[in-house]
A and B are shown apart, each in its own frame.
Chain A
Amino acid sequence: MSSTAPRRSPDDASPRVERAQAGGPGPWMPRGRWTALAFSSRRQWEALERQLDDAGAGGAWDLRGIEQLDHIGAQLLWNHWGRAWPAQIELTESQKAVLDQVERFGARPPQEAAPGFWDSLHRHLAKGPVLWRVGKEGTALLGQLALDLLTLLRAPHRAPWRDISGHLYQTGATALPITALVGALIGIVLAYLISNQLRSYGAESFVVNILGLSLIRELGPVLAAVLIAGRSGSAITAQIGVMRVTEELDAMRVMGIPHGFRLVMPRVIALAIAMPLISLWTSIAALAGGMLAAQMSLDISPEFFFRQLPRAVPFSNIVLACAKSVVFGVLIALIACYYGMRVKPNTESLGRGTTSSVVSSITMVILVDALFAVLFRGIGFRF
């Protein structure tokens, strides 16, 4: 069939529609290669569309000038003809086979009606209030954790100690450099800001009180919790989520290994232990940074800083900070596990679950911190 197409230029292969005699009557003659690959340049495609528009749907067609016709090219012609054979057509055996297939498999799926207002409202209501559902599932998770902890106390030798120590290393030890860096930088920035204000009052020595109290009591624990929520919370959700995708969760259930005892509890325990330690570590780094900045901008010596700190910050603040951090750790682990278990076996759900996990654990940390601030407002201050 290629013999009928005269070879004129290197661009000969481009798909196009011509007439037997230019401008005259006679059948429309598509030429060149009508393949998916040939439609890959914008210029050629637009030229072809114009030619097709000129040709119109009806009339006589002669496809024998086409060098190569694949399903995409056939589909283009077929759609151009209004999904029906033109009145008059000349074509080769193989071209007919391709076009026959396009005709035979041309069925379209039934259009699904767009859901109306009442449908979507009904579906929304049927799911129940989100808060109610989350509350119910959250309570179930907490209850399961309590039962698992009881099991642990009853038979400590059966507990997954290796898992716990592994998670402790991953969530705790490997987080030390980043939390120290962030803590020290925050300490420096804060000390500079405060020292500028204090100097105008001549109350330079109070920098120790302000830094000590705010860093140890509030900023250290919250900063550490936010970092850990971003770092370990997302990791936990992704880990458990991938286990869902690869059916590892189902495999565990079949083997009789309870998810709560082997997946949730070790992570909760590890974070409950690691979180207060990291929070103390972050506070220490921040205080060191603050001390450095205070010395540079206010000439407050480290000796004075060390002597003044215990007087300004009663020990109960450290206890409070640690207690708060334990709660943060448990919450981060539980929220991360909750979203990990809810991941459905597809990539989109995994991404959404990880995002929700981090966002809700950070929100939760700040909410709970506010609650602590209100509940313990009478403790740890020296007036």
Chain B
Amino acid sequence: MSVSAWQSLGDNHASVVEIHGLWTVFQNDGGEQVVHQDLELTIERGEILSLVGGSGTGKTVLLRQILGLQKPTRGEVRVLGRAPAELSAKGAAVVGMLFQHGALFSAFNVLDNIALPLRELKLLPEELIRDAALVKLQMVGLAPEHANKMPADLSGGMIKRVALARALIMDPPLLLLDEPTAGLDPAAADSFCDLLRGLHRELGLTVVMVTHDLDTLLDLSTRIAVLADRKVIVAGTAQEVIAFDHPFIHDYFLGGRGRRALLALQDHTTETP
């Protein structure tokens, strides 16, 4: 496939991810466990979509299927109009992924971790790669002095930032985040959200994230997709989702934590009209 064909990928499709009739069945010893049943989901260009669901509803599995790391039992996943396996040959250039625990390469320092996808092209001059990696490092709010540190010497928040910089190095049109704010203190989580919002605006990214953090969820997402009963029961804005009548949504958003988060959101929006 020629470069230009890959290039035009981005433009022609308004929807970045299309999932049709997806089934995921795990073979356990003896029985079968159906995780997804006839799941439908479309993710549009430029939105920040959050996947929400209880434990074991297959949110991370869905992310892995979008990445092409796992094959669905039945059904179709299309990313930018192509099968994920085709895309993964193009690697970080098409889909950036922030893994839950960063998944930084412990043998490389911060700069080499960020620069790795660019180096793998085996084409660009070293100086350009270094500078590009340094731009991404500073874009995620780290100082150039951190460039030579090893992943083992970083705090949890810094690991997330470095991992985000690595996911963004090729300016991919689609960014997947698995629990981006888990394990961060509130201040760090807030600044991470601001960072993501800024990057989303500047780079025109499409973001898909799995999160349990209600503040992050309500703060960032333009659309929320709720996974329950083995499918997406509702996908829409926060108001639409909360208005949907389902026991899971009731427990999730209208429980104690949900109420507090919603209240905080309302205060916030009334303060800044």
Contact = CB atoms under 8 A, between A and B. Distances in A.
Interface stretch (A6-14, A259-267, A277-285, A334-342): A6-14
Contact of A37 (B93, B106, B107, B139): B93
Interface string A114-133: 00000000000000000000
Given A105-B139, A107-B144, A346 B132 contact: no
A13 B202 contact: no
Interface residues of B, number: 39
A109 B145 contact: yes
Nearest to B6: A37
B171 A70 contact: yes
Given A37-B90, A40-B121, A107 B134 contact: yes
B151 A346 contact: yes
Interface in B128-172: 128, 130-132, 134-139, 144-145, 147-148, 150-152, 169-171
Nearest to B139: A105
A39 interface: yes
Interface string A32-59: 0101111111101100000000000000
Contacts of A39: 121, 123-124
Contact of B138 (A38, A75, A107): A107
A197 interface: no
Contact of A71 (B94, B111, B171): B171
Given A101-B135, A105-B138, A11 B4 contact: yes
A9 to B, nearest CB: 9
B128 A35 contact: no
Interface string A208-219: 000000000000
B251 to A, nearest CB: 32
B17 interface: no
Nearest to B122: A42
B131 A79 contact: yes
Contacts of B202: 97, 101
* Residue from A44, A45, A71, A78 whose CB has the most chain B CB atoms within 10 Å: A71
A35 B152 contact: no
A12 B107 contact: no
Contacts of A42: 123
Contacts of A344: 152
B8 interface: yes
B4 A40 contact: no
Contact of A13 (B3, B111, B127): B3
B136 A71 contact: yes
B241 interface: no
B123 A71 contact: no
A13 B134 contact: no
A321 B27 CA distance: 50
Nearest to A98: B202
Q: How large is the interface on A (under 10, 10 to 19, 20 to 34, 35 or more residues)?
A: 35 or more
B107 A36 contact: no
Interface in A331-369: 344-348
B212 to A, nearest CB: 22
Interface string A238-274: 0000000000000000000000000000000000000
Contact of B132 (A33, A71, A109): A71
Contacts, number: 107
Interface string B91-111: 001100000000001110001
Contacts of A109: 111, 134, 144-145, 147-148
| Chain B interface SS verdict (over half) | helix
Contacts of A303: none
Given A10-B2, A72-B170, A345 B7 contact: no
A72 B134 contact: no
A353 to B, nearest CB: 14
Contacts of B150: 346
Contact of B128 (A79, A97, A347): A79
Contact of B4 (A10, A45, A78, A79): A10
A41 B3 contact: yes
Contacts of B171: 35-36, 70-72
B128 A37 contact: no
B101 to A, nearest CB: 11
A35 B137 CA distance: 19
Contacts of A38: 3, 7
A110 interface: yes
A307 interface: no
A347 B150 CA distance: 12
B242 to A, nearest CB: 35
A76 interface: yes
A88 to B, nearest CB: 24
A106 interface: yes
A93 interface: no
A33 B7 contact: yes
Nearest to A105: B138
A278 B202 CA distance: 66
A164 to B, nearest CB: 30
25 contacts: A10-B4, A11-B4, A13-B3, A13-B4, A37-B94, A38-B7, A40-B3, A41-B3, A45-B124, A70-B171, A71-B135, A72-B171, A101-B135, A101-B202, A102-B135, A105-B134, A105-B137, A107-B134, A107-B144, A108-B134, A344-B152, A345-B152, A346-B106, A346-B151, A347-B106
Given A40-B121, A71-B171, 10 more contacts: A12-B4, A35-B171, A36-B118, A71-B135, A72-B124, A107-B134, A107-B144, A109-B134, A109-B148, A347-B106
Task: Enumerate the 10 nearest inter-chain pairs by beta-carbon distance, A residue then B residue, closest first.
Answer: A346-B106, A105-B138, A70-B171, A13-B4, A109-B144, A348-B107, A36-B170, A105-B135, A37-B93, A109-B147
Interface of B: 2-4, 6-8, 90, 93-94, 105-107, 111, 118, 121, 123-124, 127-128, 130-132, 134-139, 144-145, 147-148, 150-152, 169-171, 202
